[in-house]
Amino acid sequence: MSTQHRANTNPVRIHADHAAQKRLGDWTTARAFEVCARHAQVVIDLRSPQIPDGEIQLNLDLDHTTLTLLVADGALIDHPGLTWTGRGKVKQTYHDPAGTGRRIQLTGQIRHGEVRVQLSAITSRAYLADARRTHAEGSTPTVHDPARGA
């Protein structure tokens, strides 16, 4: 297996405390993540073709936080391993009853938080900046759909 396609075995740690964290586009090759956030907004793009095939695991420790996951069409979100304190839910903006895509496993604890699952990053500032940059360069935006490449 080439180094370029080898999965990162160490979990990527994302920490946000009263802040916003955004990881968009082709930013990782990992399939395991630890997200610890308090009173924060976190966006994680899991659509990159650089992420090797197989299940993606997210271990969450969220307190008054909104986590937005950008996923490929057909992704199956599996979350029976989440424990909840107070209000919160996993909200998907699309519905794929077949769930034929990649499985994303959510575990951990959420206190008064929410996980939003979306297919696109079009409404983000990062998308607009990427679109402006690529328009000026005459290339293709990668934040909208990392599978298209640069």
Instruction: Write out the residue range of the structural domain in which residue 11 sits.
Output: 3-148
Closest CA to 69 of 40, 92, 36: 92
Specify the number of domains making up the chain. Answer: 1
* Full pLDDT tens readout for the chain, 150 residues: 334 444 557 899 999 999 999 998 889 999 999 999 999 999 999 988 899 999 999 999 999 999 999 998 888 999 999 999 999 999 987 766 666 788 999 999 999 999 999 887 665 677 677 778 887 888 877 666 666 554
User: H helices of the chain, where?
Assistant: 125-137
pTM value is 0.78
